[in-house]
């Protein structure tokens, strides 16, 4: 039965218990037919309300910078990239800085992470021969478990550190963050005496685990 036929059937006057002979004295008046249009309207309103609730939850996740503390873990299982605030979110920030031939110390901002639990890594490499490169997180944000430091030095009697063919890996770290946190690194180039001027690259990677 189609919706139109159902509406017509329900709106049609129903016979009384006496067989529909019009015995108004012995039969109560028939009940009013159900308001089908009203039911359909209520159903549509319910669907819109459910959609609104979903939008409110998504908005709360975006504004908090992480999954809701009292709700389920949000993530994806279809091979797509996780959205900001969801488990599996990936943060990558790569930058390049110049340095001189003499020993030089610089403080660079590798990235900013939103609140949550993250696994973090950092790598550094240069485009010229140097006498050594070292780096470490300073100061480490609250909740970071290591200094994420790394170093590479020239061998004694060598002609320089071939940093053009080497990537220096920092110590991996977990970051349990309650607030948005800055990751500043101190980087020392030509650490063991004068070398070549050039550029170094720093790549900061993090993946949300909660």
Asked whether residue 102 falls in the same domain as residue 46, the answer is no
CB atoms within 10 A of CB 137: 22
In a domain, 25, yes or no: yes
pLDDT band for 53, please (50, 70, 90 cuts): confident
CB atoms within 10 A of CB 84: 13
Q: List, for residues 59-93, the tens digit of each pLDDT value.
A: 766 666 555 445 556 666 777 778 888 888 999 99
Rounded mean pLDDT, 164-187: 88
Backbone phi and psi for residue 57, each to the nearest 5 degrees, phi listed first: -65, -45
Q: DSSP readout, 62-126?
A: HHHTS--TTSPPP---SSSPPPTTSTT-EEEEEEEEEE-SS-EEEEEEEEEE-SEEEEEEEEEEE
Asked whether residue 106 falls in the same domain as residue 199, the answer is yes
Helix (H) or strand (E) holding 153: strand 150-153
pLDDT given for residue 33 in this prediction: 62
Residue with tokens 């650490």: 191
Task: Give 171's DSSP letter.
Answer: P
Q: List, for residues 155-170, the tens digit of each pLDDT value.
A: 555 555 555 556 888 9
Structure tokens at 111: 């990235």
Asked whether residue 101 falls in the same domain as residue 175, the answer is yes
Asked whether residue 36 falls in the same domain as residue 122, the answer is no
Domain count within the chain: 2
pLDDT band for 28, please (50, 70, 90 cuts): low
In a domain, 73, yes or no: no
pLDDT given for residue 205 in this prediction: 95
Model pTM?
A: 0.59
In a domain, 81, yes or no: no
pLDDT given for residue 178 in this prediction: 93
Domain that holds residue 199: 90-208
pLDDT band for 27, please (50, 70, 90 cuts): low
């Amino acid at each position: 039965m189609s919706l139109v036929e159902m509406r017509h059937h329900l709106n049609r006057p129903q016979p009384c218990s006496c067989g529909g002979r019009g015995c108004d004295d012995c039969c109560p008046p028939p009940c009013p037919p159900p308001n089908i249009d009203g039911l359909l309207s209520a159903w549509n309103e319910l669907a819109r309300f459910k959609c609104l609730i979903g939008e409110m939850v998504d908005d709360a996740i975006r504004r908090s910078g992480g999954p809701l503390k009292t709700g389920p873990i949000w993530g994806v299982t279809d091979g797509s990239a996780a959205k900001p605030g969801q488990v599996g979110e990936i943060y990558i920030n790569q930058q390049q800085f110049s340095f001189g031939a003499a020993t030089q110390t610089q403080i660079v901002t590798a990235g900013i992470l939103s609140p949550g639990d993250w696994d973090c890594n950092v790598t550094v490499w240069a485009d010229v021969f140097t006498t050594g490169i070292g780096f470490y997180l300073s100061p480490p944000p609250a909740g970071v478990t290591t200094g994420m430091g790394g170093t590479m030095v020239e061998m004694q009697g060598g002609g320089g550190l071939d940093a053009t063919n080497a990537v220096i890996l920092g110590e991996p770290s977990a970051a349990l963050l309650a607030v948005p946190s800055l990751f500043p690194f101190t980087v020392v180039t030509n650490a063991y005496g004068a070398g070549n001027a050039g550029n170094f690259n720093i790549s900061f990677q993090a993946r949300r685990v909660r």
